[in-house]
Structure 1
Amino acid sequence: MTAVEQAIKTLKEHGYKYTDKRENMLSVFAAENRYLTAKEVQLGLKERYPSISYDTIYRNIYTFVELEVLEETELNGEKMFRFGCKHTGHHHHFICTNCGKTKQIEMCPMNFFETQLNGCQIESHRFEIFGKCENCS
């Protein structure tokens, strides 16, 4: 099952109806396979849906995030989204600030931080490194 098919199945399981716009929006994420802004998604849909509103895109993206179909990050004050990582096992990401592509980082720095936060109860964490990938640097 493709990522788009799985996402549509998840939407249906949570009571959301299927629409061509939602499928095409998810297809933009699948084709790009990187973090995208809502504006980039709107540009990707412009030819097929010239009048699609930014609000419609943003509202659907946040539905996808809520259902854990997409994951989000923030770069330079702007929210960016991509399909949730299907890699199993605990890992983190390097994110290119130019093209939005990601690379997995297998090492987790939490052991260091746990020693610095004595007495604190850590509930979750997220570790991302930002920079330029080998193609953009």
Structure 2
Amino acid sequence: MNKQEAMLLLKNKGYKHTDKREDILDLFAKSGGYLSAKEIQSSLKDSYPGISFDTIYRNLSLFQDLMILEETELDGEKMYQFHCKDHHHHHLICLRCGKTKTIDICPMQDLSQVDPEFEVTGHKFEIYGYCKACREKIEYEKSKKITIQ
């Protein structure tokens, strides 16, 4: 999904075009990874000083219902990114910057032998860790703390 497809879907489903919705979708287009409601509010507070979490969550919920966004949870906080619709795949997710990388392997192929009588209707597989850039930043920050002490 991308911003243009999302805006067209909203229009085709009869939802009003609002600047807030477009600006929220812009944030996802620019992020390249997951965003939290808190990050969205922080990014939009200059343009919309009174924007509430209710407004943000209402839009996130709508976007999720329309399969514009998908959700995951990191450290107990719901995070969102554009819904992937190209093909079946999973993600590597950086815990620091939220960027994702697509992985095309699916562990479900191997797990189907565990219980052949169990009917799987869906699954989610995500791998969490740190991307190279964030690992380098973490190491740099650690080295600064060691030299300061």
Per the TM superposition, whether the score is higher than 0.5 is: yes
TM-score normalised over the length of structure 2? 0.86
The offset of 1:117, in angstroms, is 2.1
* Bigger-Rg structure (1/2): 2
The corresponding residue for 1:84 is 83
**Which residue of structure 2 lines up, in the alignment, with residue 11 of structure 1?**
10
Cα distance in 1 between the residues matched to 2:27 and 2:87: 26
The superposition leaves residues 102-123 of structure 1 with CA deviations (integer Å, 9 ceiling, x where unpaired) of 0111111112211112310111
Aligned-residue offset at 1:89: 2.3
Corresponding residue to 2:96 among 73, 95, 98 = 98
Aligned pairs, number: 135
Counterparts of 1:20 and 1:111 in 2: how far apart (Å)? 43
What SS does the corresponding residue of 1:65 show, helix, strand or coil?
A: helix
Matched residue SS, 2:132: coil
Hey, what does 2:65 align to over in structure 1? 66
- Between the aligned partners of 2:11 and 2:60, the Cα distance in structure 1 is 15
Q: Does 1:40 align with 2:35?
A: no
RMSD: 1.3
Structure with greater helix share of residues: 2
Deviations 1:51-75 (A, max 9, x none): 1111100110110010001111111
Q: 1:136 aligns with which of 134, 137, 146?
A: 134
TM-score by length of 1: 0.93
4+ runs deviating over 6 angstroms: none
CA distance in 1, matches of 2:122, 2:75: 23
